[in-house]
Structure 1
Amino acid sequence: MDKKDAELIEKAKAGDTASFGLLVNKYQEKIYGLAHYVCAGLRSEADDVYQETFISAFKNISKFKGKSAFGTWLYRIAANNCWMKFRKKKTEKLVSMEGLRGLEDIAQPDESARKELSESVAKALAKLSVDQRLAITLADIQGLSMEEAAKVLKITVPAFKTRLFRARAALKKISDPLAA
């Protein structure tokens, strides 16, 4: 954990909301990105997960022991919130065109090719299970190492590698049905 995060965390634990606000500013894009892709582009669902993640982190910051990076801890909270959201809906798969409009916020306005790619990725991810979406999002979209992603999901590195391999295979099958 970097020194600046450690200082901000200690101040936040002491009740300094401004310090917690700085932590939110640092991690908000990554957490929203995770929520957006795991919630299959459903903006309202992603917004809920995003808000619930930071509310939960604020309420439980005193429980953060620093054994992992603060970002890893936040990813774990966000992943748990994603799982809870889909358990409530009693569905693992979710397809929505509404969420594709939210990708405009992620893509650069002058990068139409990037926007088109993001839309395609969101459509394909929507067809995967929550576990598969989390694996792809953490490793391939957020850029976490295998070790970090496994820690976030509370599984072993070999189990994460297997999950990621299967998720990529499923994504490839969805993206190119003729290749299957």
Structure 2
Amino acid sequence: MTTDPRPGPDGGAPDIPGWLSLRDVVLALGVGLVLAAGLAVLRPGSLTHLRGGTDARETTVVAVREGAVPGDRGVEGKVRTTYDLAWRDGGEDRTATFHRAGRPDHEVGDTWVLWVSPDGSVVETTSPRTTWLWLGIGVPAFVLVIGLLVRWRGRVVSRAPLREADRIERARARQRRTQGG
């Protein structure tokens, strides 16, 4: 590896940053948990679901409506499907409306096991445990991976001048061998 012979901070080889330190990992996990908490608080019905306020119910799709995302300003391809659901709870008929991004993947008459609150105000596709795992492990792990990618890029950028200098030195050595031989 080539190093610049000039002394001092202006003339030496650049410092190559290390991989993630324990402090970096703790920071990434903390940021991930804060983001997960924000998602849980800002998403309507999430706290009810996470606190166990929903139960798995076998619902029946009674209506399917396909439409645009509210507030969409003409961006093509953004579709929101609205499902009207019905189920029986203790001899009582219950209903709920469920919105989902994308084209319909269920038809009228399909049965669909969903996590629904007793009053039908919260409808989720995954169990509270799965949601807790995604928020508690998935989001922090995602932030950690982003941190690793940023650090990897910094290491590559820091090593680039050294690699270029080594490449130039090898080319000059080959040129001297061919001229001198």
Bigger Cα Rg? 2
More strand per residue: 1 or 2?
A: 2
More helix by percentage: 1
TM-score, normalising length: structure 2: 0.23
Question: Please, what TM-score do these two structures have when normalized by structure 1?
Answer: 0.23
Structure with the larger RCO, 1 or 2 (CA within 8 Å, 6+ apart): 2
